Amino acid sequence: MGTRTLEGKIALVTGGSRGIGRAIARRLGRDGATVAVAYARDEAAANEVVEGIRKDDGRAFALHAELGRHGDAASLWGAFDAYADDYTPGGAVDIIVNNAGIGRSADLASLTEDGFDEVFAVNVRAPFFIVQQGLKRLCDGGRIINISSGAARLALPEIMAYGATKGALDTFTLNLAKELGPRGITANSVAPGIIDTDVNASWLRGNPDAEAHAASLAALGRVGQPEDVADIVAFLASDDARWVTGRVIDATGGSGL
Ligand SMILES: NC(=O)c1ccc[n+]([C@@H]2O[C@H](COP(=O)([O-])OP(=O)(O)OC[C@H]3O[C@@H](n4cnc5c(N)ncnc54)[C@H](OP(=O)(O)O)[C@@H]3O)[C@@H](O)[C@H]2O)c1
- Which tens digit of pLDDT belongs to each residue from 84-128? 899 999 999 999 999 999 997 789 999 999 999 999 999 999 999
Atom of ligand 1 nearest to the CA of 67: 32
Q: Kindly list the domain boundaries of the chain, sorted by start residue.
A: 10-250
Residue 243 clears pLDDT 90, i.e. is over it:
yes
Residue 184 clears pLDDT 60, i.e. is over it:
yes
The pLDDT of 225-237, averaged and rounded, is 98
The pLDDT of 196-225, averaged and rounded, is 97
Q: How many CB atoms lie within 10 A of CB 198?
A: 11
pLDDT digits (tens, 9 = 90+) for 21-35: 999 999 999 999 999
64 beta partners: 39
In this structure, the residues whose C-beta lies within 6 A of any atom of ligand 1 are 14-15, 17-21, 39-42, 45, 65-68, 99-103, 122, 147, 149, 192, 194-195, 197-200
Architecture of domain 10-250 in this structure: 3-Layer(aba) Sandwich (3.40)
The pLDDT of 142-162, averaged and rounded, is 97
Atom of ligand 1 nearest to the CA of 150: 6
Residue 64 clears pLDDT 60, i.e. is over it:
yes
pLDDT at 144: 99
> Which of the four pLDDT bands, split at 50, 70 and 90, describes residue 130?
very high
Mutate to test the pocket of ligand 1, among 66, 197, 229 (most ligand atoms within 8 A of CB): 197
Average pLDDT, the chain: 97
pLDDT at 241: 98
Q: What spacing in Å lies between the alpha carbon of 99 and ligand 1's midpoint?
A: 7
- Model-level pTM greater than 0.95? yes
Active-site residue 162, yes or no?
yes
- Write the secondary structure of the chain as one string of H (helix), E (strand) and C (coil): CCCCCCCCCEEEECCCCCHHHHHHHHHHHHCCCEEEEEECCCHHHHHHHHHHHHHCCCEEEEEECCCCCCCHHHHHHHHHHCCCCCCCHHHCEEEEEECCCCCCCCCCCCCCHHHHHHHHHHHHHHHHHHHHHHCCCEEEEEEEEEECCHHHCCCCHHHHHHHHHHHHHHHHHHHHHHHHHHHCCEEEEEEECCECCHHHHHHHCCCHHHHHHHHHCECCCCCECHHHHHHHHHHHHCHHHCCCCCCEEEECCCECC
Atom of ligand 1 nearest to the CA of 126: 32
Q: What spacing in Å lies between the alpha carbon of 249 and ligand 1's midpoint?
A: 18
pLDDT at 3: 85
Q: Which of 39, 83, 87, 162 is catalytic?
A: 162
Q: What spacing in Å lies between the alpha carbon of 100 and ligand 1's midpoint?
A: 5
Residue 2 clears pLDDT 80, i.e. is over it:
no
